[in-house]
Structure 1
């Protein structure tokens, strides 16, 4: 990173001076008004701000907390250790950590030469960025979903991108823009973030191995997500092309991570939809066979009986929810 930026980000802040000279304690009132340690966006962002930057506070252990916004941590120099679900997550120089609004984490004390920045981002800042991503990009859709997740599932993404010049340059541009508080730069920053996501998808193998969202896990989850959405027409060949993987590599990875083959996962999903349609609609069985992606009626009936030990007609009579 540019040395001018490193010097700016290395400066001892007023908060750090107080920690060093007065009281080695995190002032929670700087971050939240609630009893739970949930860092609040209105403490971090000015009115109508979508994104801001602040250097990570050093010289103290930062206690367990979460945020009501999305946080992106980037280590410019040195290292930083987070604890997530009681597991250490070590960020080294050049690492990026995306944290959604639902995940609790704590941070070990950082030293003077450990320089990291926190990007504090409202979810709708990403709207422009996400619109830049191809609509049929299976992997991008999954990664974006982690940050946009409307459920309360704890999710994080840890990328190791040191040495990937395209990503390093984009991050430096974004940090420079935010540090110098360039006015009216939201639109530019949103597009820089969009480009950053496109490159992170391109270099998705930079996802940290062993984390809950490692490259292998993300590929497997993206495959399941693809089946959930495209069960009628899904094929392993199409998915492999979308993920730029060979058929054999993708097939092995899916089996390794899910314990099932692509065909088994697809069949499970199709029958899950089929039994729902049998119970909840008046569609004919022939129409249901077509709706879930099968062309061979007799194959569907045979597999249905193997799975449920009755015919589709018998299942409908037994489980019908409409009259």
Structure 2
């Protein structure tokens, strides 16, 4: 297992450790005075084409990031190697991170880093947005939550939660350590190895989260908590159907269908269709993806059905909808 040697890695980082930001401090302070928050731009390595950069967060270094909300031009994984840290998200949610958890945030997540432990060791793993959009999305399995998090975040889908917290198991820990060591050791082919280990980390996240969702949703449906059932439909909109839900959670299709209709006034199909079209709308307005690709992404196996249902709902074709709404922006 790859083991981090904190003091060895520390020697590779210029002191003092600063924010991974190419923007001058006075510009940051101007943003804070105007809006109460600030944006962190790409790191210098990312500007030179790096897909992944890693910063060692120093808890004793003062800066605006520990007092004011900030957000990024990149995705961020926060890994606590030692100690613990509070991350205040959206000025209301306090996430306590320790070495058993990994926090993934999208570029728009407003957050404040709060760590009073001078001995804490915290790594910020930064993932370039363009790398996610142009390469990573083509690698990750489309059936997993981690794919939809990146995909929706990339295209500014407001339905997606802007952060996820995952438990770390020994296998994932090994991949994280290898990722960090490759970044700082700079051995031959280290850039490729960094990306390879990042993919391993994300793959392990997908495995763990898939198992969690299966177990949790079994408990939720058995307890009859409809809001959580609807959340499950929203999370799995691309692949879910009434038959698979009923079979997975040991309900008859008729019972599940009646429960949903009774408590929402809509059928399962109507709810699923609404969710799929909300997401399709967003892709049409915010991305350059082809209509056929969007249809497949939201769960339509038959593209003709997507065109027909879309026109019935919006009284125009998907291409016309895209043209109209982009012209009005």
| TM-score bracket relative to the smaller structure | 0.5 to 0.7
Question: Aligned partners of 1:45 and 1:9: how far apart in 2?
Answer: 20
Matched, 1:57 2:64: no
**Aligned to 2:182, which of 177, 189, 193?**
177
**Aligned to 2:74, which of 69, 72, 92?**
69
Superposed counterparts of 1:110-129, under 5 Å? 110-126=116-132, 127-129=134-136
TM-score in terms of structure 2 length? 0.60
Question: Aligned partners of 1:10 and 1:78: how far apart in 2?
Answer: 17
Task: Write the deviation string for residues 253-306 of structure 1: whole angstroms up to 9, x where unpaired.
Answer: xx89xx659x833233448999xxxxxxxxxxxxxxx948xxxxxxxxxxxxxx
Question: Aligned partners of 1:181 and 1:132: how far apart in 2?
Answer: 25
TM-score in terms of structure 1 length? 0.61
**Aligned to 1:157, which of 164, 181, 187?**
164
Shift in Å, 1:57:
2.3
Q: Which structure: larger Rg?
A: 1
Counterpart position of 1:194: 199
Matched, 1:224 2:224: no
Question: Aligned partners of 1:173 and 1:106: how far apart in 2?
Answer: 27
CA change 1:95–1:46 in 2 (3 A) is same
RMSD of aligned alpha carbons: 4.5
Shift in Å, 1:133:
2.8
CA change 1:41–1:270 in 2 (3 A) is closer
Tell me, what secondary structure is at the counterpart of 1:74?
strand
Counterpart position of 1:280: none
Shift in Å, 1:95:
1.6
**Aligned to 2:30, which of 11, 32, 35?**
35
Number of positions where the alignment pairs a residue of Structure 1 with one of Structure 2: 252
CA change 1:133–1:31 in 2 (3 A) is farther
Question: Aligned partners of 2:305 and 2:16: how far apart in 1?
Answer: 61
**Which shifted more, 178-187 or 116-125?**
178-187
Question: Aligned partners of 2:243 and 2:316: how far apart in 1?
Answer: 37
Shift in Å, 1:198:
1.9
Contact 1:51 1:119 in 2 (8 A): yes
Task: Write the deviation string for residues 120-168 of structure 1: whole angstroms up to 9, x where unpaired.
Answer: 2212333544333334x1434323335434346760111121xx12211
**Aligned to 2:241, which of 235, 245, 259?**
235
Shift in Å, 1:105:
0.4
Contact 1:72 1:120 in 2 (8 A): yes
Counterpart position of 2:139: 132
